[in-house]
Structures are given as structure tokens and as C-alpha cells.
Structure 1
Amino acid sequence: MEKLANNFIKNTKHTTRLYLKLLLLLLFTGQSFAQVTSFENGKDYILGGLSVTGLQSYNEQTVKTYTGLRVGQPITVPGDEISAVIKKLWSLELFSNVEMYYTNIEGDNIFLELNITERPTLANVTVYGVKKRKVEDIINDTDLKKGKKITESLIANTKNYLQNKYKKQGYLNAKVNIVTAADTSATNSENMVINVKKGDKVKIRSITFEGNEKLSNKRLAKSLKKTKKKKFYRFWKKSKYIEGDYKEDLSSLVDAYAERGYRDARVLSDTFIKVDENNIDLKIKVEEGNKYYFGNINFVGNSVYTDRELGRILGIRKGQTYNGVLLKERVQDDSKPDAVDLTNLYQNNGYLFSSINPVEVSAVNDTIDFEIRIIEGKETFLDHVTVVGNDKTNDHVIFRELRTRPGQKYSKDNIVRSIRELGQLGFFDAEQITPDIQNPDPNAGTVDVQYSLVESGSSQIELQGGFGGGGFIGTLGLSFSNFSLKNIFNGEAYKPVPMGDGQTFALRLQASRTFRVYSLNFAEPWLGGKKPVRFNLSLSRTQQFATNFDNRGRIDVDRDRGFAITGISAGLAKRVQWPDDFFTISHSLSYQLYDFNDFNNGLFNFGNGSSNSLSYTLGISRSSQGPSRIFPLSGSNFELTAKFTPPYSLFGNKDFRGIRDEIDEITERLFEIGATPANIEEQLEFAELSDQLERLEEERFKLLEFYKIKFRGDWYTNLVDKLVLRTNAEFGFLGSYNNDIGAVPFERFFVGGDGLGNFTLDGRDVIQLRGYENSSLTPFSTNPVTGNQERDGGTIYNKFSLELRYPLTLKPSASIYALSFLEAGNAFNNFNEYNPFELKRSAGVGLRIFMPAFGLLGIDFGYGFDTDANPNSSGPSGWQTHFIIGQQF
């Protein structure tokens, strides 16, 4: 081999493949350059010139510069300089071949040629075998960007990534083929084609257990949370085999034994049996061991808390069946950030650097003694608290919601609560609020907290049109929930409106030929900026015009006759600390003027005159739902409100009893005559009595007096993963101080349908109960003037519902979740008729989409199992479709 090298080098007069031959010597002899005969010690030269060949897209001078070789420098051939240059160029992964030749030797000068072959660049990627919407994700995940150099490792890594990706999803037979072909439209570039054949998901035909005597096969199969065998009725937890989930479930199986005292239980073997291309069998062999019990449990190292305090949190007594899972959870439950355990007890009271470890100290027969060894560490205080990512929202809006302040004791509970409060603002993506614990210093007892935020849209626009009420209805709504009033005269702040101070400003206009609605709302959540006192101001104006039908059956609108409500309300709401700091107490004062002008369509008892309503509302609420306002996973929301007007009749001397008796007499006579009098005398009497009844009703309700009690409760329970059960209960009652006056014709409850109350004339509450037409569960009464059956609204109602929710996506751009529901409720004329068990039932499914710019949109398909309140109805309500716009979440 040495002789071959000598002869090759001595006889070469033209371009010589020096590096390649020397590389062969190294391969077959294991020698270094310096050990090769004829260049045994290397020969020193002066670099007379360096040329680069084979370039297609790179500049020659750039490559020369990168080699580090300079004309005129001393160089040893063979030597470390050449080896280092070649190695350096290979490491770039830009070239598929690198060779160094010498082309000439003139005295002490040597001339070298560097020949390289450039790797092709990626032009386009085409993916077959997957849905089009998934292609972009694949390209991003595998980093197949245009212009990237195509290497063997890139192709291999892409193939392995995709095959593993689909195997994790249950496609164990997934195959991925990748080919490249020259792209004729560009120099040295290639197109890549990825062909994915996922095949069918591999299902688990059977799961068998061996060695189990203490726990049944059914109990062990149940402990495998994500690994289930095929059953025809299984639709929620699929039976596909996913290796990662299966390995986790084997640990869960051991935990099932540990929960029942079998500390030594283990999986001896698990066998994967391939039945065919689409089915496998699993065989799991276990060793159960003996059953154990807790013995003495002693705490060691604790000085902050007594043994009794720690024992109360631990909740485990001597003689109980050993439960390793419970012991771990009571020491540190990682599944719940707000769990009641020993670790949180310390971390919620400033001891961030504490550590708690349960240690078995003895195991005699079937009894295990433990020591809970505690290192409390130094009390920890917050040094710096910062936020990042808030591009629109001002810092003070965020910091006033935080429960963590510099100088405070570290508290994990305060951090969890801060995340909830930020999520409830609605300005940030609740799924991406991340607290980052920084610069922990156990010696100084300090730590920094940084909250990373991602802004989400906080403004909504409502622009819709449709036909109803006799013509086209147009709606324009603008809602800005992160408004800044102080910058309203600052032209530079309009992007498109002043934002960032957390205030709410909403304007809504709705109009058709027959009605108009205007409303304006403003809310400041921190009045004065020092305390969480919410101020709210609302102005509204509603107009309804009288309508008639012409001889062609078309609606004729009479704008000189109508009904209007003008209202104003102002309120204050304050967060309180008792019974806990989730409670809010609110107060509001409102005034409504109900003005009638020759308008009587059966909704009210009179068509001319006015009514006045001055009311005070007291509200007590508790809201702990979260972390997201749109899709809460846990917590609850309760609200109790009581609305009162002054009891005017108690201070006056008006004879409401006489008025009521006279109304009853007139009403009885009108019913006797009927809505269509038989002769002229009865017609005149009917008209006179109708006018008299109208005047009496106006006198009766000139000053409205009533009280209105409402309760609403929502509970959110996270069942598994992000499957949430929402439980709801509602109750409402409208009462009167004076039985002679009776219940007012306003402020009533209308139950049934989608629950949308955008256009309400009389302060009514519109209650959702899907599966029935809108307001169809509202009681009817007979109008003595028209003789028609009309919905007057109930004075009492109750409603209950169960709703299962599961999110399809919770991205900032759009949150989408599916739901199924069971509902039951009803409305009643008065308390004497009230029966809480006389409920109208329904069930169905639905979908909700929340987009920051447009608010909540949804659709429900509900089936009503009972008849509605219409006396002429028979049989169940049946299927109803409800469209949801702007409803509560």
C-alpha cells in the first residue's frame, strides 16, 4: 500500500486526487497523513494558488474565505490544514462531495484545487395520503422549508417522524415513502413528494390477564384508562393501540393494586400478539404480592407546623389499608394545582424550597411504618413580578388583578388564582397564560415570577340582518371590552378605538319598520383605580309602533301610535373578602318610563298613558369558574338578585281594592258580551267598558310596585381530559306588596326556546329551554277585550339543566366546543299554581363557536318531550332548531 502511494504521487504530472488516495491509505492502514511514506513526515510548501470547481449557486470567493487558506501561507502536504478544511466543509451539510487535488508544484509553491458537489435545495413539497388542511402542519413540523438543503438525514428524519406520528395515533402499519426529482425551473433544486399510507387503525381485540387473584379481570381492565378492547357500544374511549398510552396504563394497573394495599404488585410481562393487519391481542401477566396496612406515621424535620396539623392534612391513620397512590397524593398531588396536600400547605405559606418525602422505615409482617421527612427551607418572598406579551393591555390593568406582589410571601395558591383572574378578563388566551418561576435563590429566600401572556381579541362587532316582525330587521352592535375612556380625545390612540384600560363600552342599534332599539353601556371595573369597585352606566330607548293589515294582507305601520320604554340605570359592584374573596356585592338604581299612545296589542292591560318604575337591585354573587371565561373547566358561578320598588300603596290613600273590584266587574261583563257584540247597544257598552277598563288599569299601574327575586347557579365539573359537566339551576319569582294591585304586567318571565332577549319591550326575562319554540312555555290568559289567548308572562319559574361540553379547539382565533344537554323547566301564573315537579323536558345536542370579533355563535338541536303551554297544543313539542347569538357561555 505504501509503494502504491509512492508510485502514484511520483508519477503524477497532472491533476492528482491527493486527498482521496490519502483517505484510502488511512482506511486500510489506520495511519495518519504524517505516517504515509514519501510524505512520511509531510513536506512544507508555500500555497501558490487555490481554485474551487463544481460551484453552482455559491460564490467562489465565499468558499475560499470559509476554508481559511490564504495564498502565500506555509502549508504542509499532507497535513492537518487540509484535513481540517475538508472536515469543516463537510460539517456544513451543504455539499454531497468534497475533494482536494494538487494541480501543480513549482519549486516550493504548490497549487491546490478544491472540487465540491453542492447538495440540491428544496423547491416544492407535495404530500399525498393526508387531508389538505394537515399538509401545512406536516411541512412546519418537519421544517421542510423552501430553499433547505436536501440531505439523507433530512429525508430519513422526515420519514421517521411521520411514521412515529401516525403510530402514536394508532396506525401501526403506517408507511411513508419520500422521493425527490429535479426541478427544471431552478438551478440545482429538487421537488419532494411524500406519500403517506396510514392504513387502518390497529384495534385491540382482547386483553387477558394472568396471575391475578385479588383483583378481577374487570377491575384490572377498568384501570387501563386509555387502553380498551373493542366493543360495539364503545364510542368515547376508542380501542386503538397507542404504545405511549399503553405504557402509562401499565403503571395505572400497578397503582390499582397499590390503592388496595398490594404494595409489591408488579407487571411480570406484557405480550403483544398480532392477530392480523388490523387487530392485536394483549396479554398481561402480574404478580400481586401480599396485602399491607399503614403502621406508625411520624413527621421528621417540621417546625412550622405541628404533627397534628400535618396529620390532619395527610388524613391517613394507623391500621388503614396501605394505599400508595393516596399517600403520594396527600404529600404532593400533581394532578391539581390547588390540591389540599402537604406540599401545597408549605408552598402556599412561603416555603417554596421545602421538600417532603415519605420514607418506609420498617415493614414487619403486613404493617409498614413511615417517616414523612420534611426539609422546610428558608421562607421565600417575591422579589420581582413582571408580565410580558401584553401589546395592547396596559400594565396597570394586569397588575391590579394579580394576587402576587413584590415583597409578599411566595404562595402557589396566589399564582393559580392570578392565572384565573387574568383568564376571566377575556383579554388574553387563557390556555397560554404561563407563570415562569425565575431566579430562585434558596440562600436569600427570594424568587421572581414572570407571567407570559398572549393577547386575544377583546372587541366584538355584531352586524346582522333578517326578516321578522313584518319586515327586515337590521342590527349593528359594537362592544369594546378593553376600552380606554381617558384616551377618547387622543387621536393617536385610535387603533381603531382607544384600548388598553380594561373598560367596557357597548353600543347597540336595532331597527325595523315596526320597532327601534337603542342602548349604550359603559363599565369601569376599578372605579378610582384603587379598589375592585365596578361602576356601570346604561341608557336605553325602545320604540314599538302599532301595525294593521291592509286589504291585501300587508302590514301597515302607524308611527303615530305606539309604545316606548326609556330607561337609565347606574350601579356599583364591589368584591368582598367574606365569606371568601370570590364574592361580589352589587347595588344598582334604575328608572324606566313606559309610555303608551293608543297602543293595545294584548301585551299590556292598557293602551294609553304611562307607567313609572323606580327600582333598586341588590345582588350577591360568587364566581370561581375558570380558568377560561369562554370554556370553564371547574368552579362555579352563583348569583342571587333582589329587585325592589318603593311600596307606594302603603303611603297613599288610594282605594286599590275598589279599583280592583271595579276592574273585575268590568272584565266579567266584557266576557259576557264577548269580543264580537251582537247588537249596537252591546257594541256601545263594550266600547265604553273597554275605555273604562283601560283608565282603571293605567291608574292601577301608574307607579309600578313589585319585588323580583332571581337565583341562578352554574357548577362546572371536569370529568376526564377536558370533558366538562355543567350543572345549572334557576329560579325566579315576581311578587307584589299589595294583593289589591296584584302582579305588574311588566318584568315577567317568558320560558322556552333559544333564550335570546335582544328585543324585549317590558323588562321581561327570557329564559332558555331548548326543544320548545320561543316563549312557548309561558302561561296563557284570555284578553277580555279581544277574546284572544295571549301570553302574559309567568310570575314564577324554575329550570334545571345538565350539559356535557367538549372542546374541539381552544385557539385564540376561535374556540369551538360541542355539547349535549338535558333540560327541564316551566313557568306559572302565580305561586298558588306553582309545582316545582311539573316540568317540561327536553334533550339535544349543539355546537358553540366563539370568535373574538363576533362573540358567541351556536346552533342547538333539541327535542321537547312534552306539550307547550298553548291550550290548543297536543303531543310532544318534537325537534326544534335554535340559533344562538351572543348568549352567555
Structure 2
Amino acid sequence: MERQANNLAEGKTKTYNNPLLFILLLLITNAVFCQGVSLDNAKTYILGGLEVTGVKSYNEQTVKTYTGLRIGQELRIPGEETSAVIKKLWGLELFSDIKFYITKIEGDKVFLELNIKERPTLTDVTVYGVKKRKVEGVLNDTDLKKGKKITESLIANTKSYLTNKYRKQGFLNAKVSIATSVDTSATNSESMVINVKKGEKVKIKEITFEGNEKLKDKKLKKALKNTKQKKFYRFWKKSKYIEADYQEDLDKLVDAYAEKGYRDARVLSDTFVKLNDNNIALKIKVEEGDKYYFGDINFVGNSVYTDRQLAQVLGIKKGDTYNGVLLKERIADDSKPDAEDVTNLYQNNGYLFSRINPVEISAINDTIDFEIRIIEGKETFLNHVTVVGNDKTNDHVVFRELRTKPGQKYSKDNIVRTVRELGQLGFFDAEQIAPDIENPNPNDGTVDIKYSLVESGSSQIELQGGYGGGGFIGTLGLSFNNFSIQNLFKGEAYKPVPMGDGQTFALRLQASRTFRVYSLNFAEPWMGGKKPVRFNLSFSRTQQFAANFDSQGRLQRDDDRGFSITGVSAGLAKRVQWPDDFFTISHSLGYQLYEFNDYNIGLFNFGNGTSNSFAYTIGISRSSQGPSRIYPLTGSNFEITAKFTPPYSLLFNNKDFKSLKLRSEEISASATDGTPLTTAEINELQSIEEERFKWLEYYKVKFKGDWYTRLVDKLVLRTNAEFGFLGNYNNDIGNVPFERFFVGGDGLGNFTLDGRDVIQLRGYENSSLTPFSNNPITGNLEQDGGTIYNKYSLELRYPLTLKPAASIYALSFLEAGNAFNNFQDFNPFQLKRSAGVGLRIFMPAFGLLGIDFGYGFDSDARPNSVGPSGWQTHFIIGQQF
């Protein structure tokens, strides 16, 4: 009010020639400011006119209308009307100054001037001291948008926000300065420059404790999970000071005492000491108190479970050292949705509304007695179960994976398992699957569940290029992982292909100058639609051509010489309930026809004729990894498969394979003596080999296991073990030249489809760990493939982002493995070792992409290989996760 009276008293020079007006202004000023007279002495006028001055970007009439003042209305000066106008205009935060002037008084009429000063408009913001990719985030967080009015509070709030933001990140010396300058390109506009000087992150040079006798400093420092003292060897957990983390760690410090029985331990004080601009010291004073033990633990209110059953789940006995953290976890472990605690025991059996509360009933000397008070509530059943967000995937595909059906008992375990199963489909973003509990009704014992899903791309395009198999290898693959074959002939369903039924349809073409591979695969995960029985059907065709180098060193293909493999297979896999419902048993039948046409390159010991393979494969697998198949956090995945062909030579054939083998070895031995084989000997040897392997007979056993252990947050350790063995029924025939194991490299060499297994072992060149043997036809040392291998690996993974558009994670690995010619040479401890780092990117449209840098510590199996393999670069495309 004082400001208003002063403005009204100022007047304008042109009015001072009126003695009466000048005297009136002096009287008002003297009354209000000098004598403190009440505004009750103000005089009433009729508003004769109102002029608005100072406007630049606003219309004068608009401002007049907004004031609410009308010509002809009564107006007390000074009075509440003008005060209300000023307050109203200030509330808009559009003006930096507002003043009323009396320009003229005629009798009982007063003429006023409203002078306003507009705040400048923000046109541009430049930020220094912040990475370019983070500037947009700064502008969004501070709401610095073009057209915003620049106020003192805007500048102050922006400066305060940014300073606190960087201090919370450990930049305790962060300074932010903000300057504005007139922008002549627009009316009443200014640009803003923000200069951020974060400085170095402040490190914790020293952490000291006072008052601790029961727990040593080392134990207490370990309890501070995210507040670490600076050490030269510390890489993973940095020693930066983050206030929020530090306060959280002080609670963990008290928990560390509670785990050892010191229930009354507390932090008396914590002192922050600044040593210099870059280093601080923390001094923490604790009071430990006495050590306590558990006394009697009685359960009250339980009728569903006996005291003995509950005590077994609780796992705490009388006389145990008091552990408040453990007691809390055994009652309800919030960190694990599937934890084995008392709360989940009830909630997995329908008692959603149960409440379990541990209460101390007495503390005598060093012993604490507890009552576990239980309110079981009413048994709860599912009323409605709904799914939203599956815009492309048909409802029946989602609902058949649900383990929560209307009318069933409520089970938290079933909800957790459902989330995992939906994530494993690969059709939805596993990170965003949200089961919402709705409409809980304790009186009726009912509840609704709604699963919110976010579709992610499930189809993939595979484009791959590399060198191997005689030159450049190109691959084009199309994989539709949510296909719908029943809509194949419905034109309106093509978006761009029929989708929604959860089937898989894949086409793949792989080619180089010397070979071509075509394959087609179709899979229905719920054959018949009632049970999880997976049906798989596949066709493949491989053509491998002989090649020679011309006089200019160019590779020339010979279309008249080569071999082809034509294969077809069909399989069924069923999810079973025993030993648990993570197990799957699979069966498949496959036939392959090998056709050779003057293909005498030594890869096989016969170059003309045919070979047949008819095999049955049985597999047992257990997959509990999850929640996402792209980046599993927990669980395991293992499989054991056994592939058999009939023992033709023992059941149906009376040929003298022993004599054939002896003659083969006799001919081969002459080549190893350095004497080249004659054409007749080569033809005879090939004829013998074709006779021996007219129908392939073998058995092949493989085991692979992956275990995922969540260490901290989303830091995951993947442990892997693999083993494979190829055997025969008849030693007179020996091991087949197909179905072998090739170890080493990136694992992308499965282009020949001759049944071989290419095993990844990074840090070595492709297949370089596979044993060599002398080929009697070519006289050269060549790789026939191993008949036995083993491999072990440890892989530490951490995600950079797990968004639907792209999941990216970094990894480091240790690997070891080897391949052997026969079981007699097998030594599980004779391993080729490697280590390295890598990066994986999963994009729904392209599948898995990655790169690894591995260092091989040992020599490979190639002749004359000496010293370590050294650094190798591997590109990963489309392999398993």
C-alpha cells in the first residue's frame, strides 16, 4: 500500500501547474508516509479516464480490461481498488514494475495512468560446461523454453537447481552462473547464457569411526555399500561422495550391527571434513549397545499353518544371535518377489489380505522374546484377469501363458511366473510388464489382476557379412517370430505379414563364391492350442562347390565338382510338470542326404557317391532364466541332448567292415610314408569309405548349462559349461566324418550344415582349436573336426540400457576349452584359455549384434603354432543371448 500511495503522489510534471492538485498530492503523501494516517482518510473520486503506458508486446485495451477498472466508477485514492489491480498484475509474473500515476483531477473526477514495465521474453539459451547430448535434459529440467518470461526467481531457481543437481552427483564444488543479454532480433527479448563449472568430483580420502569396539573398521566400511574410501585398486565402486547414497549407507551401518545382535546400535554423529577442493574426510561416531539373542518366538493368530510349519519357514531358533535384518527378511523380503518368507507362504496360498507383524514382548537381560502376530484374513480368489497393450498379439497367445485364471486362488508366485513367461515370449518389453492388483475386496475375498503390456518388435532381419569357407560370406535372413499361418491367405492381415498367433516362420539364405545354403523353418509353440506342445518343421539345402585359384590368384568355382546336403526334420517338444514345470522334453526325427560329385578335396575320404543319415534326437531341458530372454537377471538354462542313428552294421548288415577298415588303413599308411597314392589307390580308398559310410551310424551326446547370478543391481554373472561327445557303435567302421566339433572363434561358421557344431571360444581364430590329422588323399594336415570337446566360461554383464528400441549391455569374460580327436586323448584340464571384453546390442528388427575383443593365452592347434594366440576381434551376429 505504501508503494501505491507513493506512486500516486509522484504525479507528472505537466500536472504540477495546478496548485490544488499539488497540495492534494502532498497531503496524501504526508498522511500515508509521514503520519501513518489510516486510508480511511482517503478521498473518493469518479474515474474519469485510464491510460496504460509502457506496453510493448501487449495490447493497451487488453491490459485495461484485465484491471477491471471502468470509467465512471467510484474510486478511493489511495484505496483497495488500485491495490488489488497492482496485486493482480503482479500475479501474472509478466511485469517487472507497475505504477499508478494521477495525471489530472477535474472536480470529483480523477484521471489515472497505469505505467508497466514488461519482463523480457526468453529467445535462446546457451549452456556451457555440459556435454551436448545432455543440454536438452538441462533445458527440460529447468523448463527454459522459448517465449518464457525472464524473472529474478526463474534465474535464481535455475541456478539453485543446477548447483544442487551436480552436488548430488558428487561435484561439491559445482558453480553455476547465469547471464542475460538483449536480443535485438525481437522486441523486448533477451538471450540467456548458463555457464556450469562442475569441477572435479569430490573423493572420500578417509573414513574413520569412533566408538566401535565390537565391529572393526573394515567391517563397518564394507557395510557402506556406496560410500567408499579412495584406494588405488578400486575400480568398480568409486570413492565419490554422494549425499543421498551416504545417508542411505548410514542406515546400512546400523543394519550391520543389527545383523550381529546389536539391536540398539545407532549413529551418534557424522562429520563432514573438507580437506581440500577435491578431497573430504568422513568421521562417524557410533554407539554399539549390548549384544542380544533371540528368546521364545511364538505365533499368534495362525490357523492355516501350524507353529511348526511357520517356524521352519522363519528359520530362526531360540538362542540364535539377534538379527533384525534377517527377521525382517524372513517375515517379508521386499528385495525378492519370489522369496521364501512367511508373507509369501500365505500369499502363495490365497491369503492376499494376510498381515504378519513381529512384536517384541519382552527383553530380559540379553534375550528378546517375540510374538509373530498373524492376521490371516479371508481366502482370496481371482475375479477378473485382464490384459491390455497387446495390440498385435492375439489374446489367446497371451492368455495361454497366464498362470492366473479367474476363479483360482490368489498366488503371488503365479503372478511372478506369469511375468516371466510373458517376457520369455519376446513379443513384449519384459522391463515394462506390470501386473496391477485392482479392486481388492477383503470382505468378499476377491481381487482383480490387470497385466499391462508394451509390444516390442518380434520380427527380425538378419544381414551378415564375413570371410570364411573360401571367401566372402553373405547372409540374408527373415524371421517372423509372431507369425500367423492361418491368416496366410487373408490380404488384410498383411501388416506387412500375418502376425499375432505366436508362431515362428523363418527363411534364410547364406552364400559365398563356393557354397549356397537355403533353409526354411516353421514352429507352432501350442500345437492344437490346448497344451504347450511345440511342433517344429524345417527344410534345408546346402551346395558346396570345388574351387581353385587361377594364375592371377583369383578364386574360381567349379560347378561340375562338389557335394550337396538335403535335409528335412520334424520335432515335438512338450513342457512337463515333473520334476517341475520348467522342464521340457523334446523329440525329433531328421533325414539328410549327402551327395558327392567328384569332390576330392580331402574334407571327406570319398568324393563320389551318396551317404544317408536318419537320426532320432531326444532332449531334456530346463529353462528358468528371466525375466527377459534378452538380458536374464536370474535363473538357469541347461539342456542335454542325445542324437542316435540305428546301428545298421550290427542289425541289418553282414558286411566285413573289419576287412574294409584294415584295407583303408593299409592304403592310408602308404601315404603317410611320403609315397603319394596312385589313382587306383585313391579310387579304391574312396570306394571303401563310401561303403563304410553309406548309412551313417553314430551317437552324439551334448550338454550345455548356463547359470545367471544377480550380484548387485543389474550386474549379472553368467556361468557356462559345455560338453560334447561323438561315438560309434562299431569300431570297425569308426567315427563318421560328419557331426564333428569345431572349437574356436566367434561361433558363426555353421554354414556347411553337415551336422557340425561350431563352438565359440573367443581369443582364437575360427576353428583353430580343432585337431589336425593327415589326409591320405591330399597328403596334407587338415581339420576333420574333434569327436569330443569341453568348454567353460564366466561372463560378467552390465546393461547400459534395456529400452524396447534397443537393449545394450557390456561384458567381460574368461573362457577355456578344447577339442580332441578321440576319448583316449581327452583331458578335461588341458584347456586353451582366453579373456576379454565385449558389447551386445539387441534391436528387435535385427536381432543380436555385438563385438568382442579377446586375448588367447595359449597356442592353437594349427601346425607350427607357437606362443599365445594374442588379441582377436570377433563380430557377433544373431547368436544366442
TM-score (norm 2): 0.92
Counterpart residue number, 1:332:
332
User: In the TM superposition, what whole-angstrom CA distance separates every residue of 1:457-483 from its partner, at most 9, and x where no partner exists?
Assistant: 323222344454444433222222233
2:39 partner letter:
V
Counterpart residue number, 1:791:
783
State yes or no: 1:737 paired with 2:729.
yes
Counterpart residue number, 2:434:
434
State yes or no: 1:344 paired with 2:324.
no
RMSD of the TM alignment (CA)? 3.2
Separation (CA, whole Å) in 2 of partners of 1:27 and 1:437: 66
Q: 1:2-13 alignment to 2 at 5 Å? A: none
Counterpart residue number, 2:39:
36
Q: 1:179-194 alignment to 2 at 5 Å? A: 179-194=179-194
1:703 Cα deviation after fit: 1.7
- Number of residue equivalences: 873
1:670 Cα deviation after fit: 4.1
| Bigger shift: residues 565-574 or 232-241 | 565-574
1:214 Cα deviation after fit: 0.9
State yes or no: 1:751 paired with 2:743.
yes
1:100 Cα deviation after fit: 5.5
Counterpart residue number, 2:486:
486
Separation (CA, whole Å) in 2 of partners of 1:60 and 1:391: 53
User: Aligned in 2, Cα 1:534/1:105: closer, same or farther, shift over 3 Å?
Assistant: farther
Q: 1:304-315 alignment to 2 at 5 Å? A: 304-315=304-315
1:379 Cα deviation after fit: 2.7
Indicate conservation of the 8 Å contact 1:600/1:606, yes or no: yes
Counterpart residue number, 1:671:
669
Counterpart residue number, 2:474:
474
2:197 partner letter:
K
Separation (CA, whole Å) in 1 of partners of 2:690 and 2:156: 86
User: In the TM superposition, what whole-angstrom CA distance separates every residue of 1:330-372 from its partner, at most 9, and x where no partner exists?
Assistant: 1111111111111212222222222221111111111011111
User: Aligned in 2, Cα 1:344/1:673: closer, same or farther, shift over 3 Å?
Assistant: closer
| Bigger shift: residues 581-590 or 468-477 | 468-477
What secondary structure does 1:740 align onto?
A: coil
Indicate conservation of the 8 Å contact 1:437/1:448, yes or no: yes
Counterpart residue number, 1:523:
523
User: In the TM superposition, what whole-angstrom CA distance separates every residue of 1:114-154 from its partner, at most 9, and x where no partner exists?
Assistant: 55443333222211112111112222222222223333333
Counterpart residue number, 1:195:
195
1:285 Cα deviation after fit: 1.0
What secondary structure does 1:276 align onto?
A: coil
State yes or no: 1:392 paired with 2:392.
yes
State yes or no: 1:227 paired with 2:227.
yes
1:62 Cα deviation after fit: 5.4
User: In the TM superposition, what whole-angstrom CA distance separates every residue of 1:574-595 from its partner, at most 9, and x where no partner exists?
Assistant: 2222222212222222221111
Counterpart residue number, 1:844:
836
User: Aligned in 2, Cα 1:84/1:541: closer, same or farther, shift over 3 Å?
Assistant: farther
User: In the TM superposition, what whole-angstrom CA distance separates every residue of 1:244-302 from its partner, at most 9, and x where no partner exists?
Assistant: 11111111111111111111111111111111111111111111111111001111222
Q: 1:35-54 alignment to 2 at 5 Å? A: 36-39=39-42, 53-54=53-54
Of residues 656, 659, 669 in structure 2, which corresponds to 1:661? 659
State yes or no: 1:633 paired with 2:626.
no
1:104 Cα deviation after fit: 7.0
Separation (CA, whole Å) in 2 of partners of 1:829 and 1:494: 51
Separation (CA, whole Å) in 1 of partners of 2:364 and 2:650: 81
Counterpart residue number, 2:376:
376
Of residues 710, 724, 728 in structure 2, which corresponds to 1:718? 710
Separation (CA, whole Å) in 1 of partners of 2:70 and 2:548: 100
1:163 Cα deviation after fit: 1.5
Q: What stretches of structure 2 of length at least 5 have no aligned partner?
A: none
1:667 partner letter:
E
1:51 Cα deviation after fit: 6.0
Of residues 689, 702, 710 in structure 1, which corresponds to 2:694? 702
Indicate conservation of the 8 Å contact 1:675/1:786, yes or no: no
Indicate conservation of the 8 Å contact 2:8/2:102, yes or no: no
Separation (CA, whole Å) in 2 of partners of 1:30 and 1:503: 88
Indicate conservation of the 8 Å contact 2:6/2:29, yes or no: no
User: Aligned in 2, Cα 1:522/1:38: closer, same or farther, shift over 3 Å?
Assistant: same
Q: 1:503-518 alignment to 2 at 5 Å? A: 503-518=503-518
User: Aligned in 2, Cα 1:470/1:742: closer, same or farther, shift over 3 Å?
Assistant: closer
User: Aligned in 2, Cα 1:400/1:126: closer, same or farther, shift over 3 Å?
Assistant: farther
Counterpart residue number, 1:884:
876
Q: 1:544-583 alignment to 2 at 5 Å? A: 544-583=544-583
1:865 Cα deviation after fit: 2.3
| Bigger shift: residues 47-56 or 843-852 | 47-56
User: In the TM superposition, what whole-angstrom CA distance separates every residue of 1:299-350 from its partner, at most 9, and x where no partner exists?
Assistant: 1222222211111111111111111111111111111111111121222222
Counterpart residue number, 2:619:
619
Of residues 696, 702, 720 in structure 2, which corresponds to 1:728? 720
1:693 partner letter:
L
What secondary structure does 1:689 align onto?
A: helix
Counterpart residue number, 1:412:
412
Indicate conservation of the 8 Å contact 1:6/1:38, yes or no: no
Indicate conservation of the 8 Å contact 2:166/2:172, yes or no: yes
User: Aligned in 2, Cα 1:72/1:659: closer, same or farther, shift over 3 Å?
Assistant: farther
Separation (CA, whole Å) in 2 of partners of 1:107 and 1:406: 85
Indicate conservation of the 8 Å contact 1:264/1:289, yes or no: yes
Indicate conservation of the 8 Å contact 2:11/2:102, yes or no: no
State yes or no: 1:875 paired with 2:867.
yes
User: In the TM superposition, what whole-angstrom CA distance separates every residue of 1:407-466 from its partner, at most 9, and x where no partner exists?
Assistant: 333322222222222222223332232333333333333333333333333232223444
User: Aligned in 2, Cα 1:406/1:163: closer, same or farther, shift over 3 Å?
Assistant: farther
User: Aligned in 2, Cα 1:102/1:446: closer, same or farther, shift over 3 Å?
Assistant: farther
User: In the TM superposition, what whole-angstrom CA distance separates every residue of 1:794-838 from its partner, at most 9, and x where no partner exists?
Assistant: 121111111111222222232222222111112122223222222
1:36 partner letter:
L
User: Aligned in 2, Cα 1:834/1:852: closer, same or farther, shift over 3 Å?
Assistant: same
Indicate conservation of the 8 Å contact 2:53/2:115, yes or no: yes
Separation (CA, whole Å) in 2 of partners of 1:231 and 1:722: 24
User: In the TM superposition, what whole-angstrom CA distance separates every residue of 1:835-868 from its partner, at most 9, and x where no partner exists?
Assistant: 2222222222222222222222222222222232
Counterpart residue number, 1:806:
798
Separation (CA, whole Å) in 2 of partners of 1:730 and 1:28: 96
User: Aligned in 2, Cα 1:175/1:359: closer, same or farther, shift over 3 Å?
Assistant: same
1:84 Cα deviation after fit: 5.0
Indicate conservation of the 8 Å contact 2:638/2:705, yes or no: yes
1:774 Cα deviation after fit: 1.2
Identical pairs, percent: 78
Counterpart residue number, 1:251:
251
User: In the TM superposition, what whole-angstrom CA distance separates every residue of 1:745-782 from its partner, at most 9, and x where no partner exists?
Assistant: 11111111111134124110101111222112212221
